[in-house]
């Protein structure tokens, strides 16, 4: 052990910010030199290590955090490997008395954190954890029977009766760096960026920095939020906040978002209220994941555990590649691949198409989203897919089957979204952009579209897909009578 003064470790994970960081605020209050550390240990994430798109965002978020901490005089120490061993080693080498972190709620992370806490306790190191990623602890919001909520509307109504805490102010002038050198690995050694540049389009779509997070939030609550309720379902316009990856990686905290909406004056507007309900939907997702930790792979509703899916690699790959022959579905899947993100309305359309029309297991869709989304979040991803498949809490009825042509015509009437992401259809008239197979041959020829060559025929007919889905539902219901 060194002769340096006793240190405090702040263990960063998905809280990659300085302000509104309760663990860092507590470290400043202790008055000891602080060792900020990020430990890259994807094997500790159980079945859900960060996917390729998430790793891309993580690299840039860590670079931004390193810069922000540097402005306060703190180095970001980067390590790889077993978190428990790394923290115990740092504690022994640098006279650490406290290890502080902000809580995570995924099942594997909770188990890991419990093991780390026990090991540090045995070593005589005090540990404390905080809530930085949610408005409320999942165990705090319960229904009148003291049970977890399973329907969003009463959850949201109850949340509105609770006082949301203000963002935590970190006294950065009280932070001091370690008194001796602490070994750190170069960020590049984590190999978070791809060897093959499939991420080229990400750089045109995203600026994954801390300052960018606050700028985007400020711009959104300044004006666009007022039209959020009316424009959020239109994928061809900038009608959403696009804050989800910043929230997932903790570059913004939900309390900061809540406060920004309050201070903007939009809190009581229709757009502001609707937007905050989406923040609450994120809370609801974590509420469910915390109380039902098997749901990332198992349907919450037991009757769907033997649902007669029809796994088919051809169907799955056509969907993944955006080659289903349904323009709005293909536009969504291509936006996802090229930008690491997909508009929320289109997430519902593409997910419904996979599990209803194609009868592919929702878990396969969840896995693909997990690997390709920069905002891949286990709680949100799980809730969204179980909602679509009709097998989770507050789920859409299984017989609710989105018609991709009608969805496209309703939410992308001019075809802007489809033309952006499926350029081979760009010259089609509005009347045929969402169902090119109905266009007369002269119209297709004029637009340069050759079905089956430049753009695929539908992999399945809408009526056929709908009928298969309803028949599967009927069989599943009969099996559970």
Catalytic residues: 278, 281, 309, 344, 362, 385
Neighbours of 136 (CB within 10 A): 18
Strands (E), 32-114: 34-40, 77-80, 96-102
319, 346 in Cβ contact below 8 A?
no
- Distance between CA atoms of residues 206 and 351, nearest Å: 24
56, 198 in Cβ contact below 8 A?
no
Q: How far is CA 124 from CA 27, 98, 165, in A?
A: 18, 9, 32
Transcribe 311-335 into DSSP letters: --HHHHHHHHHT-SS-HHHHHHHHH
Furthest C-alpha separation in the chain: 84
- Which of 283, 273, 223, 290 has the alpha carbon at shortest distance from 247? 283
- Distance between CA atoms of residues 179 and 392, nearest Å: 51
Residue with tokens 């972190």: 101
Residue with tokens 């809540």: 258
For the chain, the straight-line distance linking the first and the last C-alpha, in angstroms and rounded, comes to 66
Residue with tokens 């051809």: 314
Query: Helix or strand or coil: residue 474?
Result: helix
The sign of the CA dihedral 312, 314, 320, 324 is: negative
* Angle (CA) 6 11 12, round 5°: 145
């Amino acid at each position: 052990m060194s002769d340096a003064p006793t240190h405090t470790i702040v263990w960063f994970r998905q809280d990659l910010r300085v302000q509104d960081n309760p663990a860092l605020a507590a470290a400043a209050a202790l008055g000891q030199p602080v060792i900020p550390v990020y430990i890259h240990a994807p094997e500790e994430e159980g079945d859900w290590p960060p996917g390729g798109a998430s790793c891309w965002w993580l690299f840039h978020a860590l670079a931004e955090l390193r810069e922000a901490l540097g402005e306060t005089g703190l180095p970001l120490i980067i390590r790889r490997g077993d978190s428990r061993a790394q923290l115990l080693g740092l504690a022994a080498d640098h006279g650490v008395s406290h290890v502080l972190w902000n809580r995570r709620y995924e099942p594997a992370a909770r188990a890991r954190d419990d093991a780390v806490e026990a090991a540090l306790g045995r070593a005589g190191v005090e540990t404390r954890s905080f809530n930085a990623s949610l408005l409320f602890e999942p165990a705090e919001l319960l229904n009148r029977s003291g049970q977890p909520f399973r329907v969003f509307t009463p959850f949201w109504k109850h949340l509105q009766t609770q006082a949301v805490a203000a963002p935590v102010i970190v006294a950065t002038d009280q932070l001091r760096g370690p008194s001796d050198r602490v070994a750190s690995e170069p960020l590049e050694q984590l190999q978070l960026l791809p060897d093959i540049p499939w991420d080229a389009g990400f750089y045109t779509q995203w600026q994954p920095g801390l300052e960018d997070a606050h700028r985007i939030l400020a711009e959104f609550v300044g004006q666009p939020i007022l039209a959020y309720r009316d424009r959020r379902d239109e994928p061809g316009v900038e009608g959403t906040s696009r804050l989800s990856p910043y929230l997932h990686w903790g570059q913004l905290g939900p309390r900061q978002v809540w406060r920004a909406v309050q201070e903007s004056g939009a809190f009581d507007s229709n757009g502001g209220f609707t937007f905050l309900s989406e923040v609450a939907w994120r809370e609801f997702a974590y509420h469910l994941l915390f109380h039902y930790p098997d749901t990332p792979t198992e349907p919450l509703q037991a009757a769907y555990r033997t649902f007669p899916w029809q796994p088919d690699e051809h169907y799955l790959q056509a969907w993944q590649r955006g080659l289903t022959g349904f323009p709005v579905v293909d536009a969504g899947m291509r936006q996802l691949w090229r930008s690491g993100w997909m508009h929320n309305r289109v997430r519902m359309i593409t997910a419904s198409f996979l599990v209803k029309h194609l009868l592919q297991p929702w878990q396969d869709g969840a896995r693909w989203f997990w690997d390709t989304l920069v905002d891949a979040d286990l709680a949100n991803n799980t809730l969204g897919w179980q909602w679509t498949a009709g097998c989770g809490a507050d789920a859409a009825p299984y017989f609710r089957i989105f018609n991709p042509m009608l969805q496209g015509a309703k939410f992308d009437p001019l075809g802007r979204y489809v033309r952006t992401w499926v350029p081979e259809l760009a010259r089609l008239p509005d009347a045929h952009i969402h169902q090119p197979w109905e266009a007369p041959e002269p119209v297709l020829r004029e637009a340069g579209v050759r079905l089956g060559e430049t753009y695929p025929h539908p992999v399945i007919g809408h009526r056929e897909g709908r009928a298969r889905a309803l028949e599967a539902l009927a069989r599943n219901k009969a099996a559970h009578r």
